[in-house]
Structure 1
Amino acid sequence: MSRLKRWARELLVLAILLAGVLWVMDSSRAPQAPLAFADQPLHTLDGQEVTLNTLSQDRPLLVYFWASWCGICRFTTPTVAEMAQQGGNVIGIALRSGDDEKVQRYLQAKHYQMPLVNDPQGRLSANWQVSVTPTLVIIDKGQVVSSTTGFTSGWGMKLRLWWAGYR
């Protein structure tokens, strides 16, 4: 029994260390929202003009910075698109993935449907200081409440959205 306790204690210490390292990495790579970001008009591929403030008033919003050329995004984008199709409050921002037509073809080929803002030159992403794809930002009532970078599971995304609405 003492051997089992020792293993459990070592696993706990390892989990705490891993969580600390991940927190430091997320903190150092966290995007910085530009001034008045919430009311900046954004234009989606389907022609709508939206603001992050409006989209995040009733429930937390997942803002998903991604790219068609990003290897990790190949694993996270299907989950985000599925959340959007199931009625989740999601908007994607395609970073340097080509012109509107190219991004639209990419989405159609992959069968992804989600509200999407194209950022072909990366200006919007640069204003947010997004340095890693994918980057996920949770906004509630026009305020950034959480962000993470790299791979995140569907449950991780849903948990972050739930926590933002709960707080």
Structure 2
Amino acid sequence: MSRAKRWLREALWLVLMVGAVLWGMDWLRSPQLPTDFAQQPLTSLQGDVNLAEMSKERPLLIYVWASWCGVCKLTTPSVAAISQDGGNVVNVALRSGDDKRVATWLEKKGLQGVAINDESGAIGQRWDISATPTFIVLHQGKVISTSSGWTSGWGLKLRLWWASL
């Protein structure tokens, strides 16, 4: 077997193993959302919201982040770009301070759209969020995908596109 073929085979196995580990970690950290998740009434900084209603026409990206989260600093610019481009985004601040502090952080980072401040962590606990950032894609009131940890902007756009099919 030529050296190039052997190298290619080894690279393929490495990619498959890394992919399997990442998928397994994501599966283990995925939230066990309650069955009435999308119908639960929520209070945002802008007023009362209903996730099922917000996801009725087009997919909704729910971004659960924390101001103290290091990985969130890497993913927030991608979510901000989606929100600034008119994407359907709900931001959930997990134990990140009072409403004023969260509003300041959102403005500084360029995150637009509905913002929910989970100051005590009660929503995160009810939704079984075990890692930040967590991304939930909802369409027509149904959870299409969940993911936690770092993801790219194109990965988020791909999830939203997939949900709209």
Determine the C-alpha separation between the residues in 1 that align with 2:111 and 2:87: 14
Matches within 5 A, 1:1-167: 2-47=2-47, 49-166=48-165
**TM-score calculated relative to the size of structure 1:** 0.93
**AA of the residue aligned to 2:52:** N
SS at 2:70 equivalent: coil
**AA of the residue aligned to 1:66:** W
Determine the C-alpha separation between the residues in 1 that align with 2:112 and 2:137: 20
How far is the alpha carbon of 1:119 from its aligned partner? 0.3
**AA of the residue aligned to 1:104:** A
Determine the C-alpha separation between the residues in 2 that align with 1:112 and 1:55: 17
How far is the alpha carbon of 1:37 from its aligned partner? 1.4
Structure 1 residues 112, 139: closer, same or farther in 2, change over 3 A? closer
How far is the alpha carbon of 1:111 from its aligned partner? 3.6
Deviates more, 1:65-74 or 1:110-119: 110-119
Cα pair 1:81 1:114 within 8 Å, conserved: no
What fraction of aligned residue pairs are identical, expressed as a percent? 52
Structure 1 residues 141, 111: closer, same or farther in 2, change over 3 A? closer
SS at 2:147 equivalent: strand
Cα pair 2:76 2:109 within 8 Å, conserved: no
Determine the C-alpha separation between the residues in 2 that align with 1:53 and 1:96: 24
How far is the alpha carbon of 1:77 from its aligned partner? 1.1
**TM-score calculated relative to the size of structure 2:** 0.94
| Unaligned 5+ runs, structure 2 | none
